[in-house]
Amino acid sequence: MSQTRLSAVPTNIITGFLGSGKTTAINHLLQQRPEGERWAVLVNEFGQVGIDASLITETDGVAVKELAGGCLCCALGPSLPITLATLLRRARPDRLLIEPTGLGHPARIIDTLQSDQFKDVLSLHSIICLLDPGLLHQPDTLSQPSFIDQLNLADRVVLNRIDLASAEDIAEAHTLSANLFPPKAGVHQVIQGQLELSWLDLPHSLERQAEYPQAHARAATISPLTPPKLPTQPKPGQPVYEFGQGEDHYSYGWVFHSDDCFDWDRIRNVLDKLDTAVRVKAVLRIGHARVGYNRNAGQAATTAESAWRRDSRLEILTREKLDKAELEQAMLNCLNR
């Protein structure tokens, strides 16, 4: 018997700059998923080695698909319709969440969702942009066109990590959000990405999209990342290495065999000392457990137990080149022999 055609599936884009807490926010939304509903999550990562999908809790009723190695809005743009159609056909969701890379421009994604191929299948609802008030003191972040474009195209702005921000930073973030045009449907503040389910249901404002055609132009001219290689399986003690560059950033990624087990104190010491890194993410086997590691520039690392079991993987994003051989050897020295 043929399946009923999907129609007007509520779709939300959860955007925000690097380290704003998008993955944590999506996990919080998944915990609020109404009983009986099927949700799908499409995760896009700048780096060649995907980490975020391993940090999203995939349970019955939740399908997660990851695209790594570039931005959905540029380098991976041509593959977005195919990947999206495959995910929708496989998951047949009642809601779709899309998490673009923190360096991406949402405009091209919006165009795809509202194209003839998907306009009857998907219904674009609230675009939510997470903003870490602490980023407002980082000149490198403020100079990125995508930082403001993400805020401009959003229907709601959510100030996240306010427990880690000063009163002055929070006030400055509110002032910035209040002066965006068109005005936002809401400006909220939360800790640990605790978005409210009701924020998803507002339809996306086409007025906001029309006000910022320059975001489309920037998305079209952005320098793509080096295309990812075909996947290779790591061997014990012989990780697979992937490198990418674009948007004035370099990504270094490693995938270690599932049998490789790290000494926690030693590997954390290596990761904590990567002072020039813009972002460090990892899921590592520590004994019989897996631990997720996440650190943004200028902030302390956060760690949490992970349900990921497939392998261990690390991704380092930086604005300057690193000594790959030296760093890889430092990681290998952290393995329990």
CATH code of 269's domain? 3.30.1220.10
pLDDT tens, residue by residue, 305-314:
876 777 899 9
pLDDT at 118: 93
250 in the same domain as 176: no
Domain that holds residue 287: 240-332
Give the distance, in angstroms, between the CA of residue 48 and the centroid of all CA atoms in the same chain: 13
Q: Mean pLDDT across the chain, nearest whole number?
A: 83
284 and 215 co-located in one domain: no
15, 53, 256, 279, 328 from 156: Cα distances, Å: 10, 24, 39, 25, 41
Strand order in the sheet with 302-306: 240-246, 249-256, 312-318, 277-286, 289-296, 302-306
pLDDT at 227 over 80: no
Beta strand 249-256 with 39-45 is unpaired
Number of CB atoms found within 10 A of residue 47's CB:
28
d(CA 155, CA 127): 5
Tens-digit pLDDT profile for residues 231-253: 578 999 999 998 887 767 888 98
- Amino acid found at 238: Q
- Give the DSSP H/E element, type plus range, for residue 41: strand 39-45
User: Residue 218: its pLDDT value, please?
Assistant: 44
Whether residues 19 and 146 share a domain: the answer is yes
- Is residue 235 assigned to a domain? no
Q: How confident is the model at residue 1 (pLDDT cuts 50, 70, 90)?
A: very low
Kindly state whether residues 132 and 265 are assigned to the same domain: no
Q: What is the pLDDT of residue 327?
A: 95
pLDDT digits (tens, 9 = 90+) for 53-78: 566 666 789 998 887 655 555 544 56
Q: Kindly report the pTM of this predicted structure.
A: 0.69
**Is residue 203 a part of any domain in this protein?**
yes
Is residue 48 situated within a structural domain?
yes
Same domain, 35 and 152: yes
330 DSSP β-pair partners: none
Amino acid at 299: Q
Is position 230 within any domain? no
Tell the burial category of 92 from Cβ atoms under 10 Å away from its Cβ (0-12, 13-18, 19+).
middle
- Domain C-terminal end among 173, 189, 221: 221
Tell me, yes or no, whether 226 lies in a domain.
no
CA distance 37 to 10: 12
Share of the chain above pLDDT 90, in %: 44
Q: Which residues contact 132 (CB under 8 A, 6 or more apart)?
A: 16, 17, 19, 20, 21, 159, 160, 161, 165, 296
Q: What percent of the chain has pLDDT over 70?
A: 84
Report yes or no on 4 lying in a domain: no
The pLDDT score that the predictor gives to residue 230 is 41
Say whether both 206 and 276 belong to one domain: no
pLDDT for res 122: 95
Is 304 part of a structural domain of the chain?
yes
Look at residue 232 and tell me if it is in a domain: no
Tell me, what amino acid is at 272? Answer: D
More confident residue, 13 or 106: 13
